[in-house]
């Protein structure tokens, strides 16, 4: 019986999913990327040599376990940021510290998309160079699982998942600042408590909170959230939040917004109009603590799959007009222009604090040849 069960799990891990309209747009867009690269060669980076980042559901069971084992490995290595953040206990925590420190600069600003591209790539490199991971950063195609996320390959709690939902713990829902009723609260799901299944069931969250979406998260001993505050990983996998991440929303985001300002604005959310955006929808599909905390959200390992998808969607959007969109930035240098700041440019610097030095934004615009040729990847 156990052998049959393992066989079933293995088959489930290899399950194929039909292509949605966004996947089909990728297929239609790759010839444009190929043509662009023929006109603008990027050294050794070609479509044939580029790394292929894959969707979580397209990985085999062993590939998924290799990835989660590498994340657990990163959690076992000593932090580099403990001097400035006493709560940081691991290399995994280092990435949370950097996100906390740079949140006011890298959201609702020029830097949102290019900085997160750099951030996810650097995390991928840490998994590979420090923990022996042979694969690449997977992404989460929201639309595949939006109707029933808790039973998806991401959250079903199996050994091939990213961990299960949290235990049932009642809460009032997730408040959305500035949004009008009824869009100012995302109704709660069926979780809210500690994750007790899957690879991260014993995970300890060390840093934060700063802006928790759950009211009962224990406070951090420091006002900046960087003190030591150990607690369990909590989730409230939520189909109400996932409802705005179906493929039709993503396709419309890509095809209806012709400049970077509106593309990014719609992606991040137009809260006064009651529009959450796929960025918000993805984060609050996970919810809980720390995923529901704007500052500390990278502390949930699913963050990295969500932001790989954010990067993928930007990549698809860029492919629709590569000559223009590989050099197109907008917004100011501060979140929602607070405090007021100048418009950002391609020559502005963006870095990862103690993890990696500053580079010009223009170096982060292309997945094919960016960062001095270190970026060389596409999404399958």
Q: What is the pLDDT of residues 168-198, one digit of tens each?
A: 999 999 998 889 999 999 999 999 999 999 9
The pLDDT mean for the chain works out to 95
Predicted confidence (pLDDT) at residue 270 exceeds the cutoff of 70: yes
Q: What's the pLDDT at 255?
A: 98
Crossing angle (nearest 10°) for helices 303-319 and 277-286: 160
Q: What's the pLDDT at 178?
A: 87
DSSP, collapsed to helix, strand or coil, labels residue 80 as coil
Predicted confidence (pLDDT) at residue 4 exceeds the cutoff of 70: no
> Is 278 in contact with 267 (CB distance < 8 Å)?
yes
Tokens 């990728």 sit on residue:
26
Predicted confidence (pLDDT) at residue 146 exceeds the cutoff of 50: yes
Predicted confidence (pLDDT) at residue 164 exceeds the cutoff of 60: yes
Dist. CA 88–CA 94, nearest whole Å:
6
Q: What's the pLDDT tens digit per position in 310-327?
A: 999 999 999 999 999 999
Please state the domain extents for the chain. Answer: 35-379
Task: Report how far Cα 340 is from the mean position of its chain's Cα atoms.
Answer: 27
CA distances from 77 to 72, 80, 87 (A): 9, 9, 14
Dist. CA 63–CA 160, nearest whole Å:
9
Residue in 314, 326, 306, 316 with CA at minimum distance from that of residue 369: 326
Angle at the Cα of 67 (from 212 to 130), degrees rounded to 5? Answer: 90
> Is 140 in contact with 55 (CB distance < 8 Å)?
yes
Q: What's the pLDDT at 6?
A: 35
Predicted confidence (pLDDT) at residue 284 exceeds the cutoff of 60: yes
Counting residues of the chain whose pLDDT is more than 70, the rounded percentage is 96
Dist. CA 313–CA 334, nearest whole Å:
23
Mean pLDDT over 116-138 rounds to 98
Predicted confidence (pLDDT) at residue 12 exceeds the cutoff of 80: no
Q: What's the pLDDT at 161?
A: 98
> Is 304 in contact with 258 (CB distance < 8 Å)?
no
> Is 213 in contact with 287 (CB distance < 8 Å)?
yes
Spell out the residues 6+ positions from residue 285 whose beta carbon is closer than 8 angstroms to its own: 142, 146, 149, 237, 238, 239, 241, 242, 245
What does the CA dihedral 40, 45, 46, 48 come to, rounded to 10 degrees? 180
Specify the pTM: 0.95
Predicted confidence (pLDDT) at residue 376 exceeds the cutoff of 50: yes
Predicted confidence (pLDDT) at residue 11 exceeds the cutoff of 80: no
Mean pLDDT over 69-85 rounds to 98
Tokens 């700063």 sit on residue:
210
Bridge partners, 11 (sequence order):
none
Q: What's the pLDDT at 15?
A: 63
Residue in 63, 247, 40, 303 with CA at minimum distance from that of residue 295: 303
Spell out the residues 6+ positions from residue 27 whose beta carbon is closer than 8 angstroms to its own: 19
Quick one: CATH architecture of 35-379?
Answer: Orthogonal Bundle (1.10)
Q: What's the pLDDT tens digit per position in 330-339?
A: 999 999 999 9
Tokens of 271: 């809260």
Predicted confidence (pLDDT) at residue 75 exceeds the cutoff of 60: yes
Predicted confidence (pLDDT) at residue 8 exceeds the cutoff of 80: no
Q: What's the pLDDT at 1?
A: 38
Q: What's the pLDDT at 5?
A: 38
Predicted confidence (pLDDT) at residue 250 exceeds the cutoff of 60: yes
Dist. CA 361–CA 91, nearest whole Å:
25
What does the CA dihedral 130, 292, 142, 37 come to, rounded to 10 degrees? -50
Confidence bin at 16 (pLDDT 50/70/90): confident
> Is 130 in contact with 118 (CB distance < 8 Å)?
no
Mean pLDDT over 230-238 rounds to 98
Tell how strand 51-53 and strand 377-379 pair up.
Answer: parallel
Mean pLDDT over 151-162 rounds to 98
Confidence bin at 3 (pLDDT 50/70/90): very low
List, in sequence order, the alpha helices (H) in 14-136: 21-39, 61-76, 91-106, 112-131
């Amino acid at each position: 019986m156990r052998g049959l069960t393992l066989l079933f799990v293995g088959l489930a891990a290899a399950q194929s999913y039909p292509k949605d309209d966004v996947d089909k747009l990728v297929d239609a867009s790759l010839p444009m990327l190929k043509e662009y690269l023929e006109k603008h060669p990027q050294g050794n980076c070609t479509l044939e040599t580029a790394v292929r980042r894959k969707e979580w559901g397209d990985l085999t069971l062993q590939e998924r376990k290799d990835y989660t084992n590498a994340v657990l490995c990163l959690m076992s290595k000593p932090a580099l940021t403990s001097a400035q953040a006493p709560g940081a206990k691991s290399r995994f925590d280092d990435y949370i510290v950097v996100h906390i420190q740079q949140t006011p600069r890298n959201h609702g600003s020029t830097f949102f998309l290019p900085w997160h591209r750099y951030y996810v790539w650097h995390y991928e490199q840490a998994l590979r160079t420090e923990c022996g991971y042979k694969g690449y950063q997977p992404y989460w195609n929201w639309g595949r699982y939006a109707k029933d996320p808790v039973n998806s390959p991401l959250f079903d709690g199996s050994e091939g998942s990213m961990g299960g939902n949290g235990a049932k713990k009642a809460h009032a829902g997730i408040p959305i600042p500035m949004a009008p009723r009824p869009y100012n609260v995302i109704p709660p799901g069926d979780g809210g408590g500690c994750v007790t299944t899957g690879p991260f069931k014993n995970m300890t969250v060390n840093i934060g909170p700063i802006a928790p979406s759950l009211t009962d998260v224990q406070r951090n001993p420091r006002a900046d959230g960087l003190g030591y505050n150990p607690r369990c990983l909590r989730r409230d996998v939520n189909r109400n939040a996932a409802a705005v991440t179906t493929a039709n929303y993503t396709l419309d985001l890509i095809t209806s917004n012709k400049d970077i300002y509106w593309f990014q604005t719609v992606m991040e959310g137009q809260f006064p109009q009651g529009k959450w955006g796929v960025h918000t929808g993805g984060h609050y599909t996970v919810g809980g603590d720390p995923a529901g905390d704007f500052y500390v959200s990278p502390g949930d390992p699913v963050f990295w799959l969500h932001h790989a998808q954010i990067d993928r969607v930007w990549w698809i959007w860029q492919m629709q007009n590569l000559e223009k969109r590989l050099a197109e930035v907008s917004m100011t240098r501060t979140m929602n222009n607070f405090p007021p700041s100048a418009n950002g440019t391609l020559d502005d610097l963006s870095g990862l604090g103690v993890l990696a030095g500053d580079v010009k934004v223009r170096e982060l615009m292309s997945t094919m040849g960016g960062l001095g040729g270190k970026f060389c990847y596409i999404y399958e």
